[in-house]
């Protein structure tokens, strides 16, 4: 049964998509609200600068070369995520799970990794200048 004049049912709207004119902020707000499962997502080279990704599940996500400068990744699950060459300057990864993550050649300048789970994480070539643990 429809409850709108155009015949659609409330709550059946499609997610905001950049190709349909949605802003990055609208798309990210939808993700954070639980609209999209990002496990294993292919976000290579994505511009996520300053994104609010607090507690988002990015298990096994492909984030190679992604721009995550200043992103809020507190409590995020990045188990097994591929972050090689990612830009994480000033990102907040407090209490994030980075177990088995690949952070080779990543820029973690000034990032916070306080309380983060770093078991078996690969940091070869990563810039850890000013990073707090």
Kindly list the domain boundaries of the chain, sorted by start residue. 37-133
- Cα–Cα distance, 23 to 7 (Å, whole number): 26
pTM: 0.77
Digits of tens for pLDDT over the chain (133 positions)? Answer: 334 444 433 444 566 666 778 776 776 677 666 556 689 999 999 999 999 899 899 999 999 999 999 999 999 999 999 999 999 999 999 999 999 999 999 999 999 999 999 999 999 999 999 999 9
Q: Domain 37-133's class? A: mainly beta
3 alpha-carbon distance from chain centroid: 36
């Amino acid at each position: 049964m429809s409850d709108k004049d155009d015949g659609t049912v409330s709550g059946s709207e499609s997610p905001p998509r950049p190709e349909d004119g949605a802003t990055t902020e609208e798309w990210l707000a939808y993700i954070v609200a639980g609209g999209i499962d990002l496990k294993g997502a292919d976000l290579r080279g994505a511009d996520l600068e300053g994104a609010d990704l607090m507690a988002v599940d990015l298990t096994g996500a492909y984030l190679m070369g992604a721009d995550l400068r200043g992103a809020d990744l507190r409590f995020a699950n990045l188990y097994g995520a591929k972050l090689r060459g990612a830009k994480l300057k000033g990102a907040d990864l407090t209490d994030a799970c980075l177990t088995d993550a690949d952070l080779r050649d990543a820029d973690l300048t000034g990032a916070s990794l306080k309380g983060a789970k770093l078991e078996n994480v690969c940091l070869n070539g990563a810039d850890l200048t000013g990073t707090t643990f």
